[in-house]
Amino acid sequence: MTWPDITAIAVRAISICIVLEAAGLAIFHYGLRFDVGAIRRQGMWIAAAGALLAATQLLVEPVRLAGSFDGIFDPALTQFYLGSDAGTAGIVRIVGTLAVLFGFRSRQPWLALTGAALTCLSFTFMGHTVTRGERFLVAPLLLTHIVIISFWFGSLRALRRTDDAGHSDIADVLERFSRIASIAVPILLAAGLGLAVSLLPSFAALFTPYGLMIIAKMSGFAVLITMASINRWRLLPRILAGDGSAIAVFQRIAGAEWLIMVALIFITVTVTSLFSPDM
């Protein structure tokens, strides 16, 4: 990989992390009706950063086409990229994160949730879901996968920012989050397996870089499920019983889950930027 490749991939990975988190925070905040000022304020900042990084990604991506950083200043390459599926996805992503930002700022749930929906939908406009013949099957699977990942990712940050809430409110939202997660996680697993089967041409493809990425993601998913199970079955009963110290442990584990998800997103972005399922 060249430095232009590394730069473009790094910007893309950071951008995707931030926009997914912004969308997930909106879904968590308004979907679970957990009106905590710290979460809303952080949601605004993260959505603003997401829009800025998505715009930066549109400017930086042409360096990969040019093979040098001069591509940033090439209007023809920029126009070509903006007219591509990836460019369309980036523009929709900017609109989505801005809608999340103004939804948080104006306290308009419909605007924030619409922005979250657009942000998640943007991922189906590009990549292998567009190039595969089974797009009618792959795109819904990917959208389901992205929505749940975004909700989970954003929730982990939100669950660590409960400064303005009392113990009973925290316990209530954790219980609701755990109920939703118990339904969402099997769906996430099914969608992920469906994507793997749809995208990989054969069993042997599991040993290609793309296939190894899928194995790494499944391994990471197993670790995340283990940690989430500890939170649900060991810590949540203590929190519901009034044990304030269990909340701090819950939040530390949520922080570790967040770091693992960041690592998995970076791995996914790097591999999918360099390899296809057929390679």
Give the C-alpha separation, 51 to 82, whole Å: 16
Could you give the CA distance from residue 138 to residue 144 in angstroms, rounded to a whole number? 10
Task: Provide the b/e sequence for 177-197 (b: ≥16 CB within 10 Å).
Answer: beebbeebbeebbebbebbbe
Band (243; pLDDT cuts 50, 70, 90): confident
Structure tokens that stand for 263 in this block: 């690592």
Contact 27, 157 (CB under 8 A): no
Q: What is the per-residue pLDDT for 157?
A: 87
Q: At what angle do helices 167-199 and 244-274 cross, to 10 degrees?
A: 20
pTM for this predicted structure: 0.92
Residue-wise pLDDT tens digits, 197-235: 888 888 888 899 999 999 999 999 999 999 989 988 899
Number of H helices, E strands in the chain: 12, 0
Q: Which of 77, 76, 51 is nearest to 64 (CA)?
A: 77
Q: What is the Cβ-side half-sphere exposure of residue 4, based on CA atoms within 13 angstroms? A: 14
Q: Letter for the amino acid at 97?
A: T
Residues whose CB falls within 8 Å of the CB of residue 59, separated by 6 or more in sequence, listed in order? 72, 78
Between 116 and 132, the more confident residue is: 116
pLDDT for position 279: 63
pLDDT value, residue 165: 64
pLDDT of residue 20: 97
Query: Residues 25-64: pLDDT tens digits?
Result: 999 999 888 777 788 899 999 999 999 999 999 999 888 8
